Structure 1
Amino acid sequence: MKSTTRGTLAAVLTCVAAAAGAAPAAAVDAIPVPVPLKGAEKALHMELPEVGGEVPLPKPGSPEGPRFVEGRLLPERVLPQLPLGAGLPGAGLRAPLPHLLGDDFDHLSLDAPSSDLRTLGPGLDLDAPLTAPHPGRAGLPQPKLPEVGLITPVLQTVPHAALGLGSGL
Structure 2
Amino acid sequence: MKQSTRGTLAAVVTGVAAVVGAAASPAAAVETVPVPVPLNGLENSLNMELPKLGGEVPLPVPGAPEGPRYVEGRLIPERTLPQLPVTAGLPGAGLRAPLPHILGDDFDHVGVEAPAADVRTLAPGLSVDAPLTPPNPDNYGLPGAKLPQVGVLAPVLQTVPGAELVMGPGL
Give the TM-score band, short-chain normalised: 0.7 to 0.9
Contact 2:98 2:107 in 1 (8 A): no
| Amino acid aligned to 1:117 | V
Contact 1:105 1:165 in 2 (8 A): no
Displacement after TM superposition at 1:25 (Å): 3.0
How many pairs were matched up?
158
State the distance in 1 between where 2:75 and 2:39 align: 64
Look up the match of 1:135: 137
Moved more, 102-111 or 67-76: 102-111
The secondary structure found in structure 1 opposite 2:100 is coil
State the distance in 2 between where 1:20 and 1:142 align: 57
State the distance in 1 between where 2:112 and 2:158 align: 23
Scaled by the length of structure 1, what TM-score is found? 0.84
Unaligned runs of 5+ in 1: 1-11
Look up the match of 2:6: none
Spell out, residue by residue over 1:54-106, the C-alpha distance to the aligned partner (whole angstroms, 9 max, x if none): 11111111100000001100000100000010111111100011236x66981
Scaled by the length of structure 2, what TM-score is found? 0.84
State the distance in 2 between where 1:18 and 1:37 align: 37
Look up the match of 1:47: 49
Match status 1:23 vs 2:24: yes
Q: 1:58 to 1:140 in 2, by over 3 A?
A: same
Match status 1:34 vs 2:36: yes
| Amino acid aligned to 1:80 | P
Runs of 4+ with deviation above 4 angstroms? 14-18, 102-105
Match of 1:99 among 101, 108, 120: 101
State the distance in 1 between where 2:35 and 2:77 align: 46
